[in-house]
Amino acid sequence: MSGLLTPGRTRDPFYRNHLLRDAIGRAIYEAMQRDPSIYLFGEGAEIKQHYDAPQIEKEFPHRVITLPISEDGNLNFAVGASLLGVKTVVDVITADFLYRCMDSICNTAAKLNFVAAEGQPPKTIVIRGEFLIGGPTTGQRPEALFAHIPGLNVVLPSTPKDAYGLMWTALRTPGVTLFFEDRMIRDVQTKVDDLSYHGVQVPVHFGYAGICTYPKRKWLTVVTYGLMRQVVETVLEKNRIEAVVLLDLRTLYPLDLGSILDSLKITKKLLIVEPDIQFGGIGAEIAAQVAEAQPGVKIRRLGGPREVIPASREGQARMLPSEAQILEEIRELI
């Protein structure tokens, strides 16, 4: 698994992709330069523990608000601020804490623009959360839960360029966006061309998957997102496998079903590799829609087991599809 969760392997305690995080911070910083209504809310915001964006705090200290350790209360505070015309970026740190905020997000924030009085300007809220497998209550992935809720956009970039472009779009899109970050994507897995966004404002629009490979011969379509993009790319490169169209969803909602179906018109075979629990996940939704739209497609899915994350490193390694599993499925389908 390219060292992601190799049993017994020493890892950085912060386990952070600085390049991905820098891209997110850069997009927020540039947006704050142009739009005085953008504020950052979060626990530890002023001490750079989570934003890693000191330039933001240097230039806009009055727009970086450190809040107490109360995720649900902080989300409600953001909702109230949005009613006053503030565009809020709320950092709940680890995505597991979002379970405490389900009512604030799904029953209040998601409805704001649907129940507003006529003529009221639309509200914009961006909610950030990180994924990191570290034990039973650290590393859970609620992306599929939020993709189910009307009024929410769900974003999960896998490269710095996409992270920059998606945050650029999130801050200009009315409504509520769940902006997730896979901390297990390492800097060494980031390619040089992923950094070419520097100095260039390039939005990545919601609902458009990234085409990572598009070979002349097309025998198989692989759909993935988040940290599994780099794992699949590693499998293809290590084993010199061509003829695979690799799609990175980038946004789980809105979902780019069109690009998937267009590719399947040629390949007729689909492998879905997701970093989340397979049961009831994003992959299941894709498989169902593809089966309805193109009944003759052969579909396989790879995801995590429906289990509580173990405390042991060996157990955690089983929570994500491995390179060996991905290679076996690709070979069988091809």
For residue 144 the two structure tokens come to 């599929």
Give the residue from 312, 204, 324, 209 showing the smallest Cα distance to 263. 209
Range of the domain at 84: 18-195
Q: How many residues are recorded in the chain?
A: 334
Query: Which of 195, 225, 253 lies at the terminal end of a domain, its last residue?
Result: 195
Distance CA 47, CA 135 (A): 26
Which letter, b or e, does each residue of 91-119 get, where b requires 16 or more Cβ atoms within 10 Å of its Cβ? Answer: bbbbbbbbeebeebbbebbbebbeeeeee
Instruction: Flag the least confident range among 115-119, 156-160, 243-247, 285-289.
Output: 115-119
pTM reported for the whole predicted model = 0.90
If asked whether residues 251 and 314 sit together in one domain, one would say: yes
pLDDT digits (tens, 9 = 90+) for 205-214: 999 999 999 8
If asked whether residues 101 and 155 sit together in one domain, one would say: yes
**CB 226: neighbour CB atoms within 10 A?**
27
Which of residues 9 and 133 earns the better pLDDT score?
133
184 dihedral zone (left: phi>0; alpha: psi -120 to 50; beta): alpha
Residue-by-residue DSSP string for 16-28: --HHHHHHHHHHH
Grade residue 171 by pLDDT with cuts at 50, 70 and 90: very high
If asked whether residues 162 and 26 sit together in one domain, one would say: yes
Distance CA 232, CA 177 (A): 27
Distance CA 46, CA 232 (A): 37
If asked whether residues 42 and 114 sit together in one domain, one would say: yes
Q: Give the CATH number, domain containing residue 124.
A: 3.40.50.970
The tally of domains found in the chain comes to 2
Residue 202's identity, in one-letter code, is V
Q: What rounded mean pLDDT belongs to the chain?
A: 87
pLDDT digits (tens, 9 = 90+) for 207-265: 999 999 988 999 999 999 999 999 999 999 999 999 999 999 999 999 999 999 999 99
Spell out where the chain has E strands: 38-42, 64-66, 87-94, 124-131, 152-155, 175-182, 210-213, 220-224, 244-248, 251-253, 269-277, 298-304
Distance CA 223, CA 296 (A): 18
Q: How many CA atoms lie within 13 A of 243 on its CB side?
A: 13
pLDDT of 14 > 80? The answer is: no
If asked whether residues 229 and 190 sit together in one domain, one would say: no
Q: Give the CATH number, domain containing residue 244.
A: 3.40.50.920
pLDDT on residue 53: 64
Q: Beta partners for 269?
A: 298
pLDDT digits (tens, 9 = 90+) for 70-119: 888 889 889 999 999 999 999 888 899 999 999 999 999 999 999 887 87
**CB 331: neighbour CB atoms within 10 A?**
11
Which letter, b or e, does each residue of 160-177 get, where b requires 16 or more Cβ atoms within 10 Å of its Cβ? Answer: bbbbbbbbbbbbebebbb
- Let me know if residue 189 belongs to a domain: yes
82 dihedral zone (left: phi>0; alpha: psi -120 to 50; beta): alpha
If asked whether residues 260 and 191 sit together in one domain, one would say: no
**For 116-139, what is the mean pLDDT?**
87
- Let me know if residue 7 belongs to a domain: no
Distance CA 247, CA 232 (A): 10
- Let me know if residue 286 belongs to a domain: yes
- Relative to beta strand 220-224, strand 269-277 is parallel
pLDDT of 7 > 60? The answer is: no
3-state secondary structure of 7: coil
pLDDT on residue 294: 96
Grade residue 42 by pLDDT with cuts at 50, 70 and 90: confident
If asked whether residues 226 and 190 sit together in one domain, one would say: no
pLDDT of 4 > 70? The answer is: no
Residue in the block written with tokens 């955690």: 316
pLDDT on residue 291: 97
